[in-house]
Amino acid sequence: MMDLHARRHWSWTDWFFSALRLISVLMSVTYLYGYTPAEQRGLVMTIALFAYAVPQTFYLPGHIRPRLFITTEIILSVGFTIYMMSFLSHDVNTVSYLYMPAIIICYLSSKKLFLSLAPFIIFGFPILFQAVGNHDADYVVSQVSNFALFCAIGYGFGVFLRQKDQLSDSLHEIEEKNEQLEQYIHQVERITLLEERNRMSRELHDTVGHSLTASIVAMEAIQRLMDRDAEAAKKRLGELIAFNRKNLEQIRQTVHEMAMNELKWPLEELIQRTAEEFSEQTETKVFVETTTDQLIVTEATKLALLRCLQETLTNAKKHGGASEIKILLDYKNEQLTLTVQDNGIGSDDMKEGYGIQGMKERVQALRGSIQIDSSSSKGTAISIGIPLEG
């Protein structure tokens, strides 16, 4: 929080009050100069310049010492006012020279300092000048009202700025806490996802391992039994087929659960995670750009794009030897487009293998299309377009 009465950096309000102080001094001196005898004008201008310049040296950009400014401002401004009152008429409002210093002094004051200075300025100044200038009681009352108003303006403005700055600091702190909270949430999500993947991997490993081991043992037994008892071997083979069908269904269910767990992320994050994992595993530079923001798509679309992306990345590295891959996810005119461009060797006569055919089948099932552009000099670019309902 900005502490106006402590050493600190220069702010726009300091420029504002410095400018007001300069303008006020010029106007007050010009006003008093007109009533000053000719033989004293040179001395008056010298004292006025000194009374303005000395406090200002403690109120400059990069050099703010508010307490020294307040001390010298009170001493020199009051001294200059008393000096002017010593030879000017009572009709001249000499005390007006102190109005702007009172505002700035209270603006720079802390609450504790203000409670000490305000009574002195509000009551002390009028009483002092009443004694020096032999003014009546009405003069004191009038000046007390004036100084009370200017002190309130200065201190009120300072309080407003301090509260505004405090609010800004609080908002900034809240934003930092929110960022930290988001980071913690992402960490928890990553840990949760990793634990879930590990659980699924263990379950899949145990299921497949157990099923294959049991099947191999059973087939070896059937092989030995076939020569001795063909009917018994046939019966055992039927049991083995039923056993394997049941295990196959379990494996499919486990894989389905893994896919559904993977698809819980937004499409943009799925693509980003896939790219990061591929980049780490293969030491390939992968750049991702998305023009979408939390786009809502079906799980079928997510799965199709994810599998196509995985296949494309694998082909770019395995067959194209790419060292750099660029991924663009774009949504325009109710059409979602995923483009993958690599700097691999490419091919002028690309043959579609099982992977490309599988990609086409996935995309065509969603009424989409795939465009492949490959050449030996430019690498390979694959663009997958899937229409989305508006």
Confidence of residue 387 (pLDDT cuts 50, 70, 90): very high
Q: For the chain, where are the E strands, in sequence order? A: 59-60, 63-64, 285-290, 324-332, 335-342, 369-375, 379-387
In this predicted structure, what is the pLDDT of residue 262?
62
- Averaged over 128-149, what is the pLDDT? 86
- Averaged over 347-368, what is the pLDDT? 84
In this predicted structure, what is the pLDDT of residue 370?
93
CA gap 5, 8 in Å, rounded: 9
Is pLDDT above 70 for 205? no
Q: What percentage of the chain exceeds 90 in pLDDT?
A: 12
Count of CB atoms situated within 10 Å of the CB of 379: 22
In this predicted structure, what is the pLDDT of residue 242?
81
In this predicted structure, what is the pLDDT of residue 325?
93
In this structure, are residues 315 and 326 in contact, taking their beta carbons and an 8 Å threshold? Answer: no
In this predicted structure, what is the pLDDT of residue 193?
67
Confidence of residue 288 (pLDDT cuts 50, 70, 90): very high
Is pLDDT above 60 for 134? yes
Q: Dig out the tokens for 385 from the structure.
A: 């377009």
Confidence of residue 338 (pLDDT cuts 50, 70, 90): very high
Is pLDDT above 60 for 206? no
DSSP 91: T
Q: Dig out the tokens for 189 from the structure.
A: 């999500």
- Averaged over 241-252, what is the pLDDT? 76
Predicted TM-score (pTM) of the model is: 0.44
Lowest-confidence region among 1-5, 111-115, 231-235, 256-260: 1-5
Q: For 28-120, where are the E strands, in sequence order? A: 59-60, 63-64
In this predicted structure, what is the pLDDT of residue 213?
66
Q: What percentage of the chain exceeds 70 in pLDDT?
A: 87
> Strand 335-342 to strand 59-60: parallel, antiparallel, or no bridges (unpaired)?
unpaired
Is pLDDT above 50 for 3? no
